[in-house]
Structure 1
Amino acid sequence: MQLNLRNPLVFFDLETTGINIVKDRIVEISFVKVHPNGKEECKTRRINPEMPIPPESTAIHGITDEDVKDCPTFKEIAKSLAAQIEGCDLAGYNSNRFDIPLLVEEFLRAGVDIDLNKRKFVDVQTIFHKMEQRTLSAAYKFYCDKSLENAHTAEADTMATYEILKAQLDRYPDDLQNDIEFLSKYSSFTNNVDFAGRMVYNEDGKETINFGKYKGKLVEEVLKNDPGYYSWIMNGDFPLNTKKVLTEIKLRGFNSK
């Protein structure tokens, strides 16, 4: 089934130094850019993370420090990558919880403030888990009747994710619509304000804290009633995107006075 697209859809996968979106870095990125006319572009790049790759991460994706020592840093490719995904919606496997937040962090560290607020995000893992409760390799076997060769390489995982989404649309025609806005909403568990989900919109569309002692409280009220909270976030081990969004809410409060 060919995807029904209004905008290009970029399926992407990251291989990284670890799973901490604040501290870890990308070592490989692969994407398949699918155009509304069905044309596909595939690209894979190794990246020097500027930090050692832990052995436990190498054991998963097979990429070593030696493999990336002469590769460009993310900062060196950030502008060209941002241009390549400009105006595109994004899709991946567990991408809403990991790949997108980490990618945004890398862009912010590189000084490239890419605006993803108007993009749509399709998380194939969420669709799969709502339907079948399995892993990527099992999903590929289940939906495409193929074994996932070279699992945990960015390109193999990216292509498999693309194929799985098309197969999901074929398998669930009564439940899924071949429409990116529908798939984006369907594959989202929460209505995040920041990409890491530290803040979410409530039923009234207002920003609320989503963790800790202020969970469920309006962000504006917390900032007003606990002036030290903002400094705690800004000086703490939180994603740059979370700090950026919190600052925007704080400044909005000042401007409304």
Structure 2
Amino acid sequence: MQLNLKNPLIIFDLETTGMNIATDRIIELSYLKIYPNGKEEGKTLRVNPGMPIPPETTAIHGIKDEDVASAPTFGSIAKNLAKDFEGCDLAGYNSNRFDIPLLAEEFLRADVDIDLMKRKFIDVQTIFYKKEPRTLSAAYKFYCEGDLENAHSAEADTRATYEVLKAQLDRYEDIKNDVSFLSKYSAFTRNADFAGRIVFDDNEEEVFNFGKYKGQKVADVLKKDPGYYGWIMQGDFTLHTKKVVTNVKLRSFNK
């Protein structure tokens, strides 16, 4: 089944130096851009992370320091990448919890203004887990009846994610071929920040989703415990989480 698109859809996958959204870096990015008319464009980029790649990470994706030594930094490609992503909805495998938050961090570090929060996100892993909890390789075998070659290479995983998404639409009659539906279906919470530390409640107000103030409104917490803001700003939180908290704080000042 072909995707029913109103906007271009970018399906992408990242290989990184590790799994910490706040501190790790992209070393490979592959994406497939699907247009509403069915046209496809693909691109794979290696990126110099400006930090060593841990051996345990290399053991997973096979990318070594010397493989990216002459590659451009993310900062040098960020503006062109933002142009490619502008106006597109996004999809990936575990992308809501990892790839999109980390990509947003890289854009913020590069001081490139792209508001990904305005886009719709489809997480193929979430759809898969709600239907058939497995890994991407197992998902590919289950839905596409084949073995995933070169698993953990960004390009292979990107293509596999696209094929699995189309097969999911073919298999499940209750899953609509509509990006808005898929975006809502593949999200567990309505995040205010990419890392999911802050979520929206039913009244569209930001609520902490972690720690001692979990479930409480951000604005209320900052009012009764002003020091909590400083703790967040100095803590190991993502730049985007800090930006969202700061926006809430500034908004309360303007009232």
- The TM-score by the shorter chain falls in which range? over 0.9
Q: 1:194 and 2:197 equivalent?
A: no
* Dislocated runs of 4+, deviation >4 Å: none
1:114 offset after TM fit, Å? 1.1
Counterpart residue number, 1:255? 254
Deviation (angstroms), 1:205: 2.1
Instruction: Give the TM-score normalised by structure 1.
Output: 0.98
Q: Which amino acid counterpart does residue 100 of structure 1 have in structure 2?
A: I
Q: Could you tell me which amino acid in structure 1 is paired with residue 77 of structure 2? A: I
Output the CA distance in 2 between the equivalents of 1:81 and 1:204: 34
Give the TM-score normalised by the residue count of structure 2.
Answer: 0.99
Q: Deviations over 1:155-202 (max 9, x none)?
A: 0000000000000000002x1000000000000001111110111112
**What is the distance in 2 between the residues matched to 1:119 and 1:109?**
20
CA distance in structure 1 between the aligned counterparts of 2:114 and 2:204, rounded to whole angstroms: 23
Does the residue aligned with 1:3 lie in a helix, a strand or coil? coil
Task: Report the CA distance between 1:58 and its aligned residue.
Answer: 0.3
Q: Distance in 1 between matches of 2:86 and 2:114?
A: 9
Instruction: Please give the secondary structure, in 1, of the residue aligned with 2:117.
Output: coil
Residue 65 (1) aligns with residue 54 (2): no
Q: Report Cα offsets for 1:56-104 as digits up to 9, x if no partner.
A: 1100000000000000000000000000010000000000000000000
Alpha-carbon displacement from aligned partner over 1:88-141 (angstroms, at most 9, x marks no partner): 000000000000000000000011121012200000000000001111000000
Which runs of no fewer than 5 residues in structure 2 stay unpaired? none
1:150 match = 150
**Matched residue type, 2:168:** Q
Question: Aligned residue for 1:164?
Answer: 164
* Match status 1:79 vs 2:74: no
Alignment of 1:1-257 (within 5 A): 1-173=1-173, 175-256=174-255
After superposition, what is the alpha-carbon deviation per residue over 1:20-52, rounded to whole angstroms, capped at 9, x for unaligned? 001100000000000000000000000000000
Instruction: Give the secondary-structure state (helix, strand or coil) at the position aligned to 1:214.
Output: coil
For residues 32 and 168 of structure 1, the distance between their equivalents in structure 2, rounded to whole angstroms, comes to 18
2:244 counterpart letter in structure 1: V
| Paired residues, number | 255
Q: Distance in 2 between matches of 1:42 and 1:117?
A: 23
What is the rounded CA distance, in whole Å, between the counterparts of 1:118 and 1:51 in structure 2? 31
Per the alignment, in what secondary structure is the counterpart of residue 102 of structure 1? helix
